[in-house]
Structure 1
Amino acid sequence: MAEINHFEYGWITPALSYALSVLGSILGLVCAGRIRTARTNGQRAWWGLLSAWALGGTAIWAMHFMAMLGFAVENTRIRYDVPLTAASTAIAVVAVGIGLAIVGTGRLNPVRLVAGGIFTGAGVASMHYTGMAAMRLNGSLGYDTVRVVLSVVIAVVASTVALWLAMTVRRGLAIFASALVMGIAVNGMHFTGMSALSVHRHEQAGEVTGAGVSTLLVPIVLAVLFGVVGLLYALLAAPTDDDRAAAAYLDGRRLAEPAPSTPTAAPDPVGLRARSTLGQPGTPFPSRRDTPPR
């Protein structure tokens, strides 16, 4: 059995993974709050997609990969299968998106919350173990069943709490505190699952195929950066509740104001107005044809 090191670079990788999970949780909770105030189904779907990407893509999957940077096995290189790695990303985002759709459609109740938590938690656990299956090394992986089950339970509980927070938390300080708790839960699930892992190294060293960590690191970091910038831009560009209230006030004020009326001239049966303008500059002198008969 090979020796495993989960903190090859010390506390740098777990600290960065926790920071990513907190950042993704903050953005995801803010986007989820916009789902509740959206007026159309299209707006709800848009904010749900952004929230799923923030929670599933950044808070869960990016955190998982960042923590895996510190994972090392004695006397063997670690490579990753690119299609399986991409599939683990899709699993995380889709699972969170479906969970948000379950709890976000209709009135929130315990049945919806538990159903969404179970589905999302199962998706998060599937993401984790799919990402682990994407590893290629000179050995075979084994798992302790009890710890695997414990990691799945933690994933379900954490997902249920995350969905409840996404549908109820609104204030900035509460969102930040909730993100700190969610970061602990996500990292706890990850390292519980990692503690269940054992590696039986093969005696004969074979060729390890797949993409190295350095090859995957640059595109993953760029995807996270562009994703975070895009989420921030979408949040800053979207109208707030104050903007909607101001627009509604201005619309109501325009409707309340009377329409401008065209002034009408008073009747002038004997031509007094015309006579009063004779002799003024710019007033034409009446011709003989316009002069009334005596």
Structure 2
Amino acid sequence: MTSPKPIPDGAIPMIARLATRVRAARDALGLPRRALSERSGVSPRYLAQLEAGEGNISIILLERVATALNLRIEDLLSEAPPMDGDVARVARLYQAAPAQVQGRVRALLAPQNPLALRAQRICLVGLRGAGKSTLGRMAADKLKVPFVELNEEIEAEAGMPLSEVMALYGQDGYRALEAEAVARVVSRHDKLILAVAGGIVSDAAVYDTVLERFHTIWVRTSPGEHMARVRAQGDLRPMEGNPAAMDQLKALLHNRTPSYERALAQVDTAAKPVSTSLNELLAIIAKYRFLEGLGP
């Protein structure tokens, strides 16, 4: 009678791992060894040797055992621990998906990935008078998503107009309320268009949160149009009794431009009808797939 061939030393860890996994899989199914034998067509004696780590097994027989245990043969042989049922099913779906879908899954699952953090939230930033509120409301209506004006959110929470908020709490108090409002919007909405005040860039921490949690778009225009649009809204303060107002506006825009340029995209509304600017905004949202949770 021919003696069994000795198992090479390099194969011993694999044989031990195989034994452990077959036993664990059988126990998880509550399957007696004889029942596994009937399912797989492998003798109980052979299975006992396999689970004891005392012998090798042909690939054909091992595949039968794996199938009987609802596993793939690689689940028994891989150095990595076998995946549970749900994880294995998702893994198979991922492997069968097109490369583009696989890329999107990887992006969404990456730890602290910007795309996952931003979800489908869009934020319009820029100086007052650029067109954030007008374009934001129109775009949200077209895209059937909520629109939120951050200052209106602050007023609703405070229970008073913004002018009274400023008078009561001052600039520092307003900034604290602004930070709280941004946090509320993030917690309540995974999909929306938000318009924020131009001065939000003055608080680096809050603006960093906006950049992290939203797909940001800088809505910009010329200094002259900024001024004209604010006055058209009925606010004469920028010009009244202040001949240097335009110079101050230009300086403010110059100082804030580096912060606004941190946005992911820009829409320039200067010398354009609202319909044209709206189409450009919608085109940017579609191009970068902001409402699909993606981005540049």
TM-score for both structures, normalised by structure 2: 0.23
Q: Which has the higher contact order (CA 8 A, sep 6+)?
A: 1
TM-score for both structures, normalised by structure 1: 0.23
